Amino acid sequence: MYTKFLNLDEDKKIRILNAAMKEFAAKGYERASTNEIVKEAEIAKGLLFHYFANKKQLYLFLYDYCIDVIIEDFYKKMDYSRTDFFDRLRQSMEIKFEIWEKYPDIFEYVKSSYLETASEVHGEMEEKRKVIMGESMPKILDGVDYSFFKEGIDLDKVYNIVMWSFEHYGMEMVKNARAMSELMDKSRIFPEVDAYIQLFKDAFYK
């Protein structure tokens, strides 16, 4: 169904995808404007509807595309032989960084899609989410060795604190880079990531 779009040259395809992710993530399905999407993507509106029959079709395709990217470019790149919790976390940050460089709004879009209540897409999104949740998709922390943690520590709370911190940190990096119209600087970001990781290790490890 989407062969023509998928066969576009890579630059134009990425522009359209990123413009759609940005608009849907910021405004939700109902308030999102295809006029803004085509303006951001620098294409004619008729061209967008040459590839997608309507806004609903674009939204549902975009969700499927994003999930495929996350599975292929994120979970399958994880080295599960490295079992230290914070080593695994750093890997996830490195892979997320690669995805963010190409799709700056992908994680915000996916997160917003889980909260989407618009009646026009809600039913189909519920079905898609059930399929994703039911798949045996590898998880970031599969096989992690928790013996390094202090005795009696609440690992669920540790996980939440660490993941919330780095999710917020990553989003701030994306937002700041976009505000400055520049690329994220890996040479600056990852020394900061390592400093935070060391701080967490000092707090939670034996």
Contact 93, 170 (CB under 8 A): yes
Evaluate if residue 149 carries a pLDDT over 60: yes
Contact 30, 118 (CB under 8 A): yes
Q: Report the percentage of the chain scoring pLDDT > 90.
A: 47
Instruction: Classify residue 14 by burial, with Cβ atoms within 10 Å: 0-12, 13-18, 19+.
Output: middle
Coil, helix or strand for 33? coil
Tokens of 124: 């189909």
**Ramachandran angles phi, psi of 96, nearest 5°:** -60, -40
Q: Report the percentage of the chain scoring pLDDT > 70.
A: 91
Evaluate if residue 137 carries a pLDDT over 80: no
Instruction: Classify residue 52 by burial, with Cβ atoms within 10 Å: 0-12, 13-18, 19+.
Output: buried
H or E element, residue 91:
helix 85-102
Contact 35, 45 (CB under 8 A): yes
- Work out the average pLDDT over 149-173: 87
**For residues 112 and 108, what is the distance between their CA atoms, to the nearest angstrom?**
6
Q: What pLDDT does residue 136 have?
A: 45
Q: Please tell me the least confidently modeled range out of 102-106, 107-111, 124-128, 130-134.
A: 130-134
Evaluate if residue 196 carries a pLDDT over 70: yes
> Which residue type occupies 133?
M
| Model pLDDT for residues 71-102, shown as the tens digit of each residue | 887 778 888 999 999 999 899 888 888 888 88
Q: At what angle do helices 106-114 and 155-179 cross, to 10 degrees?
A: 130
Contact 124, 206 (CB under 8 A): no
| Model pLDDT for residues 7-66, shown as the tens digit of each residue | 999 999 999 999 999 999 999 999 999 999 999 999 998 999 999 999 999 999 999 999
**For residues 1 and 158, what is the distance between their CA atoms, to the nearest angstrom?**
44
H or E element, residue 83:
none
Q: Please tell me the least confidently modeled range out of 20-34, 114-128, 187-201.
A: 114-128
